[in-house]
Structure 1
Amino acid sequence: MFQSNSLAEIGPASGRPMHIRLLSKFFGLFAVVVSAALPAMALDAPKGPVVLTVSAPVLDHPNVGATAQFDLQMLEALAGRSAKVRTPWTSGEVEFSGPYLRSVLEAAGARGAKLRITALNDYYADVPMEDVAQLDTILATRLHGKTMSVREKGPLFLIYPFDLDPNLYNEKYFSRSVWQIVKIEVTD
């Protein structure tokens, strides 16, 4: 619920004694300040097979040693979206779904300037953090609602929002669209 901090709301017209209204405003603001200062929840350890490992010089929520490891269920619990897109690697329009890449990095508490996203075969692409912050890139876990096998470019595929911005449909973003992702390294 939106709360205004306007002093006009605590004036005599509100129907409650002034000291009660002031205390109410104080405790409301106090709760906001305290909740902002509390650390984020720690990342749980994966219960299923690990499909992604995130490392960074600054990693606020490691869950296995100095890394953040995710199973499929952990990834799919994060905020994300579905996208119906055309890609150079698929036939016709297909539907990918999965968490936003920024949601994954936030869950890990990973900070830095760029990402090195690595596939099963050691292919990698360097992705600027601006792509994560400014574009709705998803770490696709599903194709047409089904998990992706390695043969189908899974288990994870970095999908740019080609459906939201046709200007992204070019070699620059194609080269960053790594599939069969297993590792993300955040660097300075």
Structure 2
Amino acid sequence: MIRTILLLAAIAPLMFVRPALAEDLTEPASRVILTVSGNIGKSNTPDNAAEFDLAMLEALPQTRFETSTIWTDGTAEYSGVELSTLLEAVEADGTQLLMTALNDYAIEVPASEAVSGGPILATRVDGRPLSVRDKGPIWVIYPFDDNPAYKTEVTYSRSIWQLKSIDVKD
């Protein structure tokens, strides 16, 4: 009986501890450029959002591709984290993504768009960080030239630049 009480006394505090820190996201060390909120399983803020600075986004696996866009001349190499990788990193669980830009332009994107080989959250063009003036610091870019099915008005409307937040919804 005493052994049981001692065992319970030893493990009781652990029942109220959050999951191991390895499962949590690190905190941004510099200016936050993206906030992911809503139905996510990993966060780094008291209000259960995931905030990312540029270094955190660039620490995630990166994808790069060359493509042309209707907004730029010629082709360029865009690099950044795939939308699917970002959503996996925050354990997103939803069917819609409300994406909002710095100028409050907002568009709902089906979560099903987040596929391998699909859109990336580009933070660099031709190796240079995207500035706000150049549609940054984050521009959702689709590999238009690799997949002509992306060359539609709907996809163009989802290619939001100056992205500041993603709200994951049911």
SS in structure 2 of the partner of residue 75 of structure 1: helix
Which of 63, 78, 81 is matched with 2:44 structurally? Answer: 63
Matches within 5 A, 1:11-160: 41-56=23-38, 58-65=39-46, 66-133=48-115, 135-160=117-142
Matches within 5 A, 1:145-184: 145-184=127-166
How far apart, CA to CA, are the structure 1 residues paired with 2:86 and 2:112? 15
- The answer to whether residue 169 in structure 2 is matched with residue 187 in structure 1 is yes
* TM-score normalised to structure 1 length: 0.76
Stretches of 4+ aligned residues off by more than 6 angstroms: none
- Most deviating of 107-116 and 177-186: 107-116
Contact 1:80 1:103 in 2 (8 A): no
How far apart, CA to CA, are the structure 1 residues paired with 2:142 and 2:23? 28
How far apart, CA to CA, are the structure 1 residues paired with 2:116 and 2:79? 18
SS in structure 2 of the partner of residue 110 of structure 1: coil
User: How many equivalent residue pairs?
Assistant: 150
Select the structure with the greater relative contact order (CA < 8 A; seq sep ≥ 6).
2
How far apart, CA to CA, are the structure 2 residues paired with 1:161 and 1:80? 14
Percent pairwise identity: 45
Q: Give the number of the structure whose alpha-carbon radius of gyration is greater.
A: 1
How far apart, CA to CA, are the structure 2 residues paired with 1:134 and 1:107? 14
- Most deviating of 40-49 and 170-179: 40-49
Residue 172 of structure 1: CA displacement? 1.2
Residue-by-residue CA offset, 1:35-54 (whole Å, 9 max, x unaligned): xxx99721111111100000
Structure 2: runs of 5+ lacking an equivalent: 1-19
Q: Which amino acid aligns with 1:64?
A: T
* TM-score normalised to structure 2 length: 0.83
